[in-house]
Structure 1
Amino acid sequence: MKRIEAIIRPSKLEEIKQALKNNNINGVTISQVMGCGKQLGWKEYHRGTELITNVLPKIEVKMVIEDSKVEEVIEIISSIAKTGEVGDGKIFVIDICDCVRIRTGERGDEAL
C-alpha cells in the first residue's frame, strides 16, 4: 500500500476529484493548506507599504491505495495539475505498512 499526497493549485481540485471518481479511485482526504516552494509567494502593497507574502493557498489531496494503482493515480493527478508554470505542485508517494478498518477489523488492502 502507498499513501499519495499531492499539493495542487486550488483551481485544479474539481477536475482531479472527478477524474479519480471516474477511474474508481475512492477514499480521498482533501485539505486547504498554505505553502510555498519555488513560487516564493507574492508582493502586495497596503497604504504604500510593500508586503511580501511567502505562502500561497494550495490544496492537499491524500489517499491510501493499492500498489497496483500508484502509477495510474500519479498520471491522473499530474496530467490535470500540470500547467508548465512554477507552482503546479508536487506528488509524494509514501509506503504504508498496514491499514485497519476500525468498524470491521479488516486489515491491509481489504481495509481500503
Structure 2
Amino acid sequence: MKEIMAIIRMNKMNQTKKVLADSGMPAFVAREGYGRGKGLVNQAVLEGAAAGNEEAIALLGTKGRLYPKRILSIVVPDAEVGKVVDAILSVNKTGQAGDGKIFVLPVTDSIRVRTGEDGDAAII
C-alpha cells in the first residue's frame, strides 16, 4: 500500500475530486495548508530574515508570503499508484509555478475500524 500526498491549488479541488471519483478513487482526506515554493524567495534573504536581519526582513515583502493550498491524502494498493498520480496530474499540471507536489509514501498496514478488516481489504 502507498499513501499519495498531493499538495494542490485551492481552485483545483473540485476538478481533482471529480477526476479521482471518475478514476475509481472517491475516498480521500483533504485539509487546508499554506506554503510556498523555493523559487519564490532568495534563500540567502530567508536565512538573513531568520537570523533577525532587518534589511532581509524588509526585502522579503510579499515574496515570503505563504499561499493557501489543499493537501490530499489517498491510500491505495500499490497497483493503483500510477493511475491516481496520473489523474491528479491531468487536472493540476498547468506548467506554472505553484502547481503543487505529489509525494508517494509507504504504508505498512491499514485497518477499517468498523469491521476490523486489514491490509488492502480495508482500503478497497
TM-score by length of 2: 0.78
Structure 1 runs not aligned, ≥5 long: 42-48
CA distance in 1, matches of 2:30, 2:39: 22
Per-residue Cα deviation, 1:2-44 (whole angstroms, up to 9, x for no partner) = 0000000111111110011111102211111101113537xxx
Q: AA paired with 2:107?
A: I
The percentage of aligned residue pairs carrying the same residue is 39
- Counterpart of 2:69 (choices 45, 48, 58) is 58
- Please state how far the C-alpha of 1:106 moved relative to its aligned partner: 0.6
CA distance in 2, matches of 1:39, 1:11: 21
Q: Which of structures 1 and 2 has the bigger CA Rg?
A: 2
CA distance in 1, matches of 2:13, 2:39: 19
Moved more, 83-92 or 50-59: 50-59
Alignment correspondent of 1:45: none
Give RMSD over aligned pairs: 1.7
Alignment correspondent of 1:46: none
Equivalent residues in 2 for 1:75-90, closer than 5 Å? 75-90=86-101
- Please state how far the C-alpha of 1:81 moved relative to its aligned partner: 0.4
Alignment correspondent of 1:44: none
Select the structure that is richer in strand. Answer: 1
Select the structure that is richer in helix. Answer: 2
Alignment correspondent of 1:26: 26
Structure 2 runs not aligned, ≥5 long: 42-57
Alignment length (residue pairs): 105
CA contact (8 A) 1:40 1:54 kept: no
| Segments ≥4 residues shifted beyond 3 Å | none
CA distance in 1, matches of 2:80, 2:23: 10
CA contact (8 A) 2:23 2:87 kept: no
CA contact (8 A) 1:4 1:91 kept: yes
Alignment correspondent of 1:69: 80
